[in-house]
Amino acid sequence: MAVILVGFMGAGKTTVGRELARKMQCTHRDLDDLIVEAAGQSIPEIFAARGDAGFRQLEHDTLVKALDDIEILSTGGGTPMQPANFDLLKAKKTPVVLLEANADTILKRIGRDANRPLVQELGTDGLVALQQKRDPRYHELADLVITTDQLLPAQIATQIMTWL
């Protein structure tokens, strides 16, 4: 059984993906990690060297390869925003789980994260605006939506397994 996790930065996609894989005894891939491996550079280095467009191209190419053979895949917060990626995720018959968190939780989790270039670039107001802008797109993809603010990763993973 495969699952694709989507949602904004800080929603818990990576942590929950790992936990879910542990419980289901299957493999987990994080798209950002695959991008870092492919580029041989960290996420901030990729943004600095190639810009947003360069990162998005790499993200798309990496997604195409990853979708070939996945069990659990945690995407990046911006992944579904590129129409080509959205179409790929929609066309795939794999269930998509949206993890949500309110803006306060998101800011608490990632507000100072130096590994997320958009956090530095946009600041608090910009991040909240971006989350609102992206939200409808995430919902269009989602087969299951989980609000994560009050839940532990293990509880979220259990909810997903119960639903599957």
Binding residues for ligand S3P, rule: CB under 6 A, are: 9, 13-14, 32, 43, 76-78, 116-118
Vertex 19 angle, CA 13 and 25, to 5°: 125
Cα–Cα distance for residue pair 25/140, rounded to 1 Å: 29
Phi, psi dihedral angles at 146 (to 5 degrees): -125, 130
In angstroms, give the least distance from the CB of 75 to ligand S3P.
7
Cα–Cα distance for residue pair 151/102, rounded to 1 Å: 13
In angstroms, give the least distance from the CB of 160 to ligand S3P.
17
In angstroms, give the least distance from the CB of 78 to ligand S3P.
3
Token code pair at residue 34: 């695959």
102: left (phi over 0), alpha (psi -120 to 50) or beta: beta
Closer to ligand S3P by CB, 14 or 148: give it: 14
Closer to ligand S3P by CB, 25 or 53: give it: 53
Residue 13 marked ligand-binding:
yes
Q: How many CA atoms lie within 13 A of 9 on its CB side?
A: 23
Closer to ligand S3P by CB, 8 or 160: give it: 8
CA distances from 73 to 30, 33, 83, 141, 159 (A): 6, 11, 19, 14, 17
Closer to ligand S3P by CB, 93 or 122: give it: 122
In angstroms, give the least distance from the CB of 9 to ligand S3P.
4
Residue 147 marked ligand-binding:
no
The residues with which 67 forms a beta bridge, in sequence order, are none
Residue 40 marked ligand-binding:
no
| Locus of tokens 């991008």 | 35
Closer to ligand S3P by CB, 2 or 81: give it: 81
Residue numbers in the known binding site for ATP are 10-15, 116
Residue numbers in the known binding site are 10-15, 32, 56, 77, 116, 134
Residue numbers in the known binding site for Mg(2+) are 14
